[in-house]
Amino acid sequence: MAALAPIRTALAERTGADARGEEPRPPLEDIARSMPAPPALETLSTALGLSRFEREVLLLCAGVELEAELAGLCHGRPTFSLALSTLAEPHWSALAPAAPLRYWRLVELEGGDSLTTAPLRIDERVLHYLTGVQYVDERLDGYVGPPLAAGPMPLSHAEVARRIAAAWARVSADGSPVPLISLSGRDREARAAVATAACGAAGIQLRKLRAELIPSSGPELESLRRLCMREALLSQTALLVELDDLEGAGAATGPAARLLDELGSAAVVSGTTPLRGLTRPTLRLEVPKPTAAEQRSLWTATLGKRAAELDGSLDEIVKQFDMGPRGVAAAGFQLADSLEGPDEAELALALWEACRSQARTSLEDLAQRIEPCAGWDDLVVPELQREVLRDIVVNVRHRAQVYDAWGFARKEARGLGISALFAGPSGTGKTMAAEVLARELRLDLYRIDLSSVVSKYIGETEKNLRRVFEAAEEGGAILLFDEADALFGKRTEVKDSHDRYANIEVSYLLQRMEAYRGLAILTTNFRKALDPAFLRRLRFVVDFPFPGLEQRREIWQRVFPLETPTQDLDSARLAQLNIAGGNIRNIALQAAFLAAGDGEAVQMSHLRRAARSEYAKLERPLTGSEIGGWS
């Protein structure tokens, strides 16, 4: 308001109006020095390089909105003609579209007969900024979200945030261009938390700009760029642009990349795909996954006084679940009610289940979760196969001890993943075995259909597989890849690009399985169709043979739940049916429905009817030798 006084006086002298008597004021420089923060007018003028004349034009337009007297002296709206004839140090270049007043949309021309006589209006966001009212320009609504809040983070993440803040501080000191900060790393939320902490240390706010909404057309993109840069100045903010959800080349060279390259203000780009072709100086940093010690510290801070009771359980949690600060905080929130009452064993179980629940969110859209119901008693396989399955359990449970404590990971970084192939005819128990392992290890089991993952488009298969493994990493879930022969068929001579890329897809899957910290299981009905070179890279291979007579008898003895009423069932005669365990379960279930419909217990007659139906489905005749002697 003090700065408006000379403008008012100059207008009054030009029009011959009586000037209002002004109280003596100290110089503007003294007023500015006495304020707790730099005045918005001075900050804006310095940052955008306004000349004295441009600064006074801006003041003139603001004064018309703030004072009725000034509006009257301008006869409603000021014009460039009025400014050129009234204000100090006028220059024609201030009217140019590339000059600050119009380039940064500080003032707008409302239309008129000529450039100099067109009424001028100050931009509403700029007017509010000058009067101390802060908000985000409404034209950015939908593009830019609310300020992000910082939270606790491990020391390794805090160090990345410190480096970002230090880079920005050097820019402020020497006046060099503001570098673009490029953050990579597996955890999107961790990257955002690091960027938020860096902005907090630099004294600015961080807001997320939605990458998928950035326009691709030149004029719209340029308009958004100028608004973002102006808003960064007015509200002291930096922008976070996450590229994780962008498809294909749009992440590396699309509109988001062009916007960030030309932005000029503080910005952080977050994603696994690096931007290409940038001319802007870029500081590339990786946000590492928290170490086991850092994760344990996060859990200790989250669980508070009860962490000491869970010393051994926390070690198991850290070994199994590779969770960042967001996951730990979310699991702690889920456990809030359990932190007061249960004993140590109940709390440890609740903690494990909370971690499983939090780790599920990333995988639910990519694979089918199977609720494991089968236990060791339900699985009928030869003893050799049972021993191999138990060895798999041992490998999963003790991998941290062997790899980390005993040093195997330092000696050999490759092949640390636990991978297995379950091979055998349909219905021989491959999926049930995976359920048994999941139940024994208390882990989630996800089935991935390779036929839906494999794509005819080059590069899409690898992208689909990467998403699956990255989503599963946090919880170390058991991944069950069905129909492995769809991808692992014997390699043929490379005759064209499709053959070459098919081999690349196979190699990529094997590499991800070897690096995956959980258990990955491949299943196939045709082991002979697989390339032997692939089999050598798997840790375990379990053959599920077609069940013999004694195994079929054992399956029949276990197939009915204890609650199911049965009458005079002969497992020895039932075992004569030369079918796999999956078919046996189908017959038992159908017989149960038939018995329920008859209002009776399950009898051999019901099983005969159900067997005929199953054999018809298999397009096989039900021979007399198989049902001979049945009642």
**Is 367 within a domain?**
no
Of 4-8, 120-124, 449-453, the range with the lowest mean pLDDT is 449-453
Residues 96 and 200 in one domain: no
CA pair distance 567, 314, nearest whole angstrom? 50
Q: Is the pLDDT of residue 529 over 90?
A: no
Residue 249 pLDDT grade (very low, low, confident, very high; cuts 50, 70, 90): very low
pLDDT over 70 for what percent of the chain?
90
Of 216-220, 245-249, 344-348, 586-590, the range with the lowest mean pLDDT is 245-249
Q: Is the pLDDT of residue 121 over 90?
A: yes
Tokens representing 424? 């055998």
Top pLDDT among 10 and 239 is at 239
pLDDT tens string 176-187: 788 999 999 988
Residue 406 pLDDT grade (very low, low, confident, very high; cuts 50, 70, 90): confident
The answer to whether residues 297 and 158 touch, using CB atoms and an 8 Å cutoff, is no
Calculate mean pLDDT across residues 202-214.
91
Residues 145 and 128 in one domain: no
Top pLDDT among 310 and 86 is at 86
Calculate mean pLDDT across residues 359-384.
87
List CB contacts of 127: < 8 A, sequence separation 6 or more. 62, 65
Per the listing, tokens 């000191």 go with 173
Q: Is the pLDDT of residue 525 over 90?
A: no
Residue 383 pLDDT grade (very low, low, confident, very high; cuts 50, 70, 90): very high
CA pair distance 506, 491, nearest whole angstrom? 10
Top pLDDT among 174 and 161 is at 161
Residues 441 and 473 in one domain: yes
Residues 193 and 105 in one domain: no
Q: Is the pLDDT of residue 565 over 90?
A: yes
The answer to whether residues 526 and 485 touch, using CB atoms and an 8 Å cutoff, is yes
The answer to whether residues 211 and 246 touch, using CB atoms and an 8 Å cutoff, is yes
The pLDDT of residue 496 is 46
Q: What is the 3-state secondary structure (H, E, C) of 392-415?
A: HHHHHHCHHHHHHHCCHHHHCCCC
CA pair distance 483, 453, nearest whole angstrom? 11
Per the listing, tokens 């198991």 go with 316
CATH of the domain at 384: 3.40.50.300
Phi, psi of 232 (to 5 degrees): -60, -35
Residue 143: Cβ within 10 Å count:
21
- The DSSP line for 592-606 is HHHHHHHTS-B-HHH
Residues 276 and 399 in one domain: no
Q: Is the pLDDT of residue 441 over 90?
A: yes
Answering whether pTM is above 0.85, one says no
CA distances from 360 to 321, 367, 460, 465 (A): 11, 10, 23, 17
CA-derived radius of gyration, the chain: 35
DSSP code, position 80 = H
pLDDT over 90 for what percent of the chain?
42
CA distances from 239 to 223, 547, 610 (A): 16, 62, 65
Nearest to 319 by CA among 393, 398, 389: 398
**Is 381 within a domain?**
yes
Number of domain units in the chain: 5
pLDDT tens string 260-295: 988 889 999 998 877 877 888 999 999 998 988 899
Residue 493 pLDDT grade (very low, low, confident, very high; cuts 50, 70, 90): very low
Q: What is the 3-state secondary structure (H, E, C) of 10-58?
A: HHHHHHCCCCCCCCCCCCHHHHHHHCCCCCHHHHHHHHHCCCHHHHHHH
The pLDDT of residue 552 is 93
Residues 487 and 418 in one domain: yes
Domain endpoint, select from 104, 134, 164: 134
Residue 420: Cβ within 10 Å count:
25
Calculate mean pLDDT across residues 374-403.
92
The pLDDT of residue 510 is 79
The pLDDT of residue 92 is 92
Nearest to 260 by CA among 278, 247, 245: 278
DSSP code, position 176 = P
Domain endpoint, select from 134, 164, 183: 134
Q: Is the pLDDT of residue 6 over 60?
A: yes
Tell me the CA end-to-end span of the chain in Å, nearest whole number: 105
Residues 66 and 32 in one domain: yes
pLDDT tens string 44-79: 999 899 999 999 999 999 999 988 888 888 877 898
pLDDT tens string 77-116: 898 999 999 999 999 999 999 999 999 999 998 876 788 8
**How big is the chain, counted in residues?**
631
**Is 61 within a domain?**
yes
Per the listing, tokens 């038939």 go with 594
Residues 163 and 214 in one domain: yes
CA pair distance 88, 96, nearest whole angstrom? 18
Residue 45: Cβ within 10 Å count:
18
The pLDDT of residue 247 is 60
Residues 116 and 154 in one domain: no
CATH of the domain at 566: 1.10.8.60
Residues 124 and 151 in one domain: no
DSSP code, position 477 = P
Residues 279 and 214 in one domain: yes
Strand partners, 282: 180
Top pLDDT among 111 and 221 is at 221
Q: Is the pLDDT of residue 250 over 70?
A: no
Q: What is Dmax (Cα atoms) for the chain?
A: 124
Q: Cα 547 vs. chain centroid, distance in angstroms?
A: 45
Calculate mean pLDDT across residues 377-395.
94
Q: Is the pLDDT of residue 14 over 50?
A: yes
∠ CA(353), CA(355), CA(357), 5° rounding? Answer: 70
The pLDDT of residue 586 is 94
CA pair distance 82, 560, nearest whole angstrom? 96
Residues 523 and 390 in one domain: yes
**Is 366 within a domain?**
no
The pLDDT of residue 176 is 77
Domain endpoint, select from 119, 134, 149: 134
**Is 210 within a domain?**
yes
Q: In what order do the strands lie in the sheet with 180-184?
A: 144-147, 205-209, 237-242, 267-270, 180-184, 282-286
**Is 493 within a domain?**
yes
Q: Is the pLDDT of residue 626 over 60?
A: yes
Tokens representing 567? 């009458």
Q: Is the pLDDT of residue 494 over 60?
A: no
Domain that holds residue 23: 4-134
**Is 613 within a domain?**
yes
Of 194-203, 228-237, 524-533, 563-572, the range with the lowest mean pLDDT is 524-533
- The DSSP line for 291-322 is PHHHHHHHHHHHHGGGGGGGHHHHHHHHHH--
**Is 369 within a domain?**
no
